[in-house]
Amino acid sequence: MSVEEITDSISQVKLEEEIELPEEIKEYFKKIKPEIKKILSRKNKDIDPNDKDILDDESEIIMTMKMEELKRKQITMKYGEIWQVVIGNFPGWEDLGIGHETECDLRRLDNTAIVELKNKYNTCNSGGKKDLERKLTNYKKCNPNTECIWGIINEKKGNRCHKKVYNVNDESIIKWQGKDFLKYCLTYEGIDYTEIIIKELKEILYS
C-alpha cells in the first residue's frame, strides 16, 4: 500500500468517526435499507436436478459446492440493481427504474447528468455497448447540456483511465469507472460518502 493510500484510509476512518451524518443522509440510509433487503429477499431458483454436466458426480460435496456457487452467483447478479437503488436515492439523484422513456437508469434531478449503469467493466458485449451508446446519444441530442454517462462500478484492476470522453455519431459520451465515478455520484455538500455507503452495504449483504 502506498503512502497516499494509507493517508486516504486514515482520513476516511477519521471521517467516519468524527462526522455527524446530516439528516438527509440519515433519511437516505433509512430509505435504501428496506429496498436493498427487498431485492435480496426475492426468491431465487433452486438447482435443477436435471441440469448436470457430463463430468459432474452426485456426491454430497459436489452438490454442496454447486449450491454455494449458485447462491453466490444469484447475489452478485443483484449487485447492479442494488447500486441503482443506492445512487438513485442519494440526494440530488433519481432512480429511473425499469421502462422509463429515456431507457436509462439514473438522472440528476437538475438534469445535469444521466447515467446508464453497469456493475462491471466486462458486462457489455459489442451489441450491449451499441445499445447503451444509442440510449445515451439519443438523450444527448435532445439535452445537449446534460452529461451522458456510461457509469461502471467495478473497473478492471490496474485501470488508470477512470474517466474518458468519446464521441458517437457526433455526440459526446463519458465513460466513468470505479470509485472515481462513485465519488462523483455520492458526494453531498462537499463530503464523499462512498466508503461509508460501501461499508453499510457490506453489513446489509453479509450480516
- The 10s digit of each residue's pLDDT in 107-155 is 999 999 999 999 999 988 899 999 999 999 999 999 999 999 999 999 9
| pLDDT, mean of residues 67-73 | 78
The percent of residues above 70 in pLDDT, for the chain, comes to: 86
Residue 13 pLDDT more than 80?
A: no
pTM, rounded to two decimals: 0.82
Residue 32 pLDDT more than 90?
A: yes
* Alpha-carbon span 38 to 34, nearest angstrom: 6
pLDDT at 18: 56
pLDDT at 6: 38
Stretch among 2-16, 43-57, 168-182, 186-200 having the lowest mean pLDDT: 2-16
Under DSSP, the state recorded for 45 is P
pLDDT at 11: 43
Average model confidence (pLDDT) across the chain: 87
Give the chain's radius of gyration (CA, Å): 20
* Alpha-carbon span 97 to 81, nearest angstrom: 9
pLDDT at 48: 66
141: phi then psi, degrees, rounded to nearest 5: -60, -40
> Which three cell numbers mark 144?
445537449
Do β-strands 113-120 and 147-154 pair in parallel, antiparallel, or remain unpaired? parallel
